[in-house]
Amino acid sequence: MNVEKLHRILKEIQSEYNKNNILEKMRAVRNYLQYQVNQPQVPEHQQNLVNSIKVLYEILTNAPSNNFSPGWKQIIEEIGLNEILGITLKNKIENIFSRNQITPTVALKEINQIVSEIEEKKFAIDNAIKSFNILKISSDELQEGQCELGYTIPRIAVENKLSALNKEISELNFILNHITEAVTGQKQELEIRTISSSDYLLYVVIGLKVAYVLSYIIERIINNYKRILEIKSLRNQLKSKGVPEENTKGIEEYANTQMKEEIEKIAQEIVNQNYKGTDPHRKNELINGVIISLNKIANRIDRGFNIEIRVEPIPEPKKGEQVPEDIQRNIQMIIAIKEREKTLEFTKTSGPPILQLEESKEAGEKIDNNADK
């Protein structure tokens, strides 16, 4: 993983814990439970325990870490912090109390273990951040209004082969080039911010408008793909029952047709909204290029790739402050991207891919040849 990215993630987790006093609230739950075990005849202890749990659950339910990007969550899981954050921690505590309603002593033992784990890991987080600062290892911070795209390439998809990884990075460049041109009217040289390993995770700087459009595109593709998951599951079940592959072709064709139709709608919508030229042939080439790019995205989502969009908010204008129209548009785009961040995760499934959408580069080559016209 990338150390600057790790520094940034640890700072966010530290802020979440410190701002909400999560460790102190966990200790309060433990202490009130201890009082109840020691003095079960005192009703105040039970009420205090219920109140402290309610406060803790509300904080964990609304914790910012619940909405971290898939790439960040992957890193958090790798370093073993996922169990002490947000909904995961809440579910863990709920499970303890639901299993031990009449055995509070057992519940206390398990809660004590959680408190000890949090204390240990919070100590490690604080010291890691302190060490990063002493060693002058910077935190991977976005500037106000800056956007980045995270692109996860599963190791299994490239079999740890350099040539295959290089091909997938080229495919990402192809995708971003054509979507960027469709949105802004020109290609842009894309800057890599960081590269992490485990699965290969690239972070690339993209413009705000491109990020806004891409987040809309990915959300539409993922929502459509979630419907296809049921079809894919059915196909896999039939194959596991020994149904010959040729007899499941109709299912696969139906799934591909569903995604193909959705992608064509998206591509036409994006180009129609953004193309400023008057040449109908050029417009058609752009639509074809975007379709190929979206086909590549959908095929890769089906194979376990992941795309995420992150944006750093800009300060909200003060009440009564006159805000230029372009800044207002930027604020609205940032709000939309932040809302879509929550929906860009998708459910991975087992079994071979079901999508086999056309990835011919012919349309893309036409755009390349006409890019300067």
Q: Measure the CA–CA gap between 362 and 213, rounded to whole angstroms.
A: 24
Q: What is the pLDDT of residues 9-46, one digit of tens each?
A: 999 999 999 999 999 999 999 999 999 999 988 989 99
Q: Residue range 100-122: average pLDDT? A: 93
Considering only residues 320 and 293, tell me which one the structure prediction assigns the higher pLDDT: 293
Lowest mean pLDDT among 137-146, 147-156, 284-293, 317-326: 317-326
Distance CA 326, CA 330 (A): 6
At residue 373, the pLDDT reads: 39
pLDDT tens for 339-368 read: 888 777 665 666 789 999 999 755 444 444
Structure tokens at 231: 């079809």
pLDDT category at 111 given cuts 50, 70, 90 is very high
Q: Alpha-carbon distance 260 to 295, whole Å?
A: 8
Encode pLDDT of 291-312 as tens digits. 999 999 999 999 989 898 989 9
User: According to the model, what pLDDT value does residue 366 have?
Assistant: 45
Banded model confidence at residue 201, pLDDT cuts 50, 70, 90: confident
Banded model confidence at residue 194, pLDDT cuts 50, 70, 90: confident
Q: Is the pTM of this model over 0.75?
A: yes
- Tell me the per-residue pLDDT of 247-268, one tens digit each, with 9 for 90 and over: 888 999 999 999 999 999 999 9
Give the confidence band of 371 by pLDDT, cuts at 50, 70, 90.
very low
At residue 177, the pLDDT reads: 93
pLDDT at residue number 71: 79
pLDDT at 234: 87
Domains (ranges, CATH) in the chain?
A: 3-134 (1.20.120), 147-370 (no CATH)
Q: Tell me the average pLDDT across 92-101.
A: 91
User: How does the average pLDDT of the chain come out, rounded?
Assistant: 89
- Residue 159 falls in which region: left (phi positive, over 0), alpha (psi -120 to 50) or beta: left
HEC string of the chain equals CCHHHHHHHHHHHHHHHHHHCHHHHHHHHHHHHHHHHHCCCCHHHHHHHHHHHHHHHHHHHCCHHHHCCHHHHHHHHHCCCHHHCHHHHHHHHHHHHHHCCCCHHHHHHHHHHHHHHHHHHHHHHHHHHHHHHHCCCCCCCCCCCCEEEEEEECHHHHCCCHHHHHHHHHHHHHHHHHHHHHHHCCCCCCEEEEEECCCEEEEEEECHHHHHHHHHHHHHHHHHHHHHHHHHHHHHHHHHCCCCHHHHHHHHHHHHHHHHHHHHHHHHHHHHHHCCCCCHHHHHHHHHHHHHHHHHHHHHHHCCCEEEEEECCCCCCCCCCCCCHHHHHHHHHHHHHHHHHCCCCCCCCCCCCCCCCCCCCHHHHHHHHHCCC
* pLDDT average, residue stretch 38-67: 94
pLDDT at site 321 = 82
Q: How many residues does the chain have?
A: 373
Q: Whole-angstrom Cα distance, residue 370 to residue 373? A: 5
Write down the pLDDT at residue 347: 57
* Rounded-to-integer distance, Cα 135 and Cα 186, Å: 41
Query: For residue 197, is pLDDT > 50?
Result: yes
